[in-house]
Amino acid sequence: MSNVTLQIGGRAYTMACAEGEEAHVAELGRTIADKVDQMGAGQSEVRQLLFAALLLADELHEARGRPGSAAAPIAPSVDDSNAEALESIADRLEKIASSLEGCRPSS
């Protein structure tokens, strides 16, 4: 196993991945970071990650529903393994968001 550190929303997240998958996981992390950056500030980190996951899942859903979807990829060289990885990341982000929703700091 290897580790990759992703920079998303101004924070570093270290993720475990299979040997040789570091560049791929880093690219997926950049995709998520781009979505978070597009939303701008004003929302909690949990909500930003959740919305980024939802936006990516929606893009994936739309791409799968298009006839000849290979002609309109969501990202360079997207294939089924990338789609599965995005779904897995979206699922993990939703679980993280759910668990963090109950961990709000007291004021």
Neighbours of 4 (CB within 10 A): 18
How crowded is the C-beta side of 13, counted as CA atoms within 13 Å?
Answer: 21
Q: Considering the entire predicted model, what is its pTM? A: 0.58
Confidence at residue 26, expressed as pLDDT on a 0 to 100 scale: 94
Mean pLDDT of the 22-39 span: 91
* Residues 6 or more apart whose Cβ sits within 8 Å of residue 100: 45, 46
Residues 55-65 have pLDDT tens digits of 888 888 888 88
Confidence at residue 48, expressed as pLDDT on a 0 to 100 scale: 86
Domain boundaries, the chain: 2-101
Residues 77-98 have pLDDT tens digits of 445 666 677 777 777 877 777 6
Tokens of 75: 């990202």
pLDDT of residue 74 exceeding 60: no
